Amino acid sequence: MTETLETIRFTADVVVTTTDGHVLLIERGWDPHKGQWALPGGHVDPGETSREAAARELAEEAGVYAMLRELSLIGVFDAPDRDPRGRYVTVAYHLTVIPGTPVEAGDDAVRAEWWPLEALPPLAFDHGGIIRAATTSK
- Other beta carbons less than 10 A from residue 108's beta carbon: 15
The structural architecture, per CATH, of the domain 8-136 is Alpha-Beta Complex (3.90)
137, pLDDT greater than 60: no
pLDDT in tens, 111-134: 999 999 999 999 999 999 999 999
Q: Where are the domains of the chain?
A: 8-136
CA distance 15 to 96: 8
Asked if 76 contacts 12 with a C-beta cutoff of 8 angstroms, the reply is no
pLDDT in tens, 66-84: 999 999 999 999 999 999 9
Confidence (pTM) = 0.94
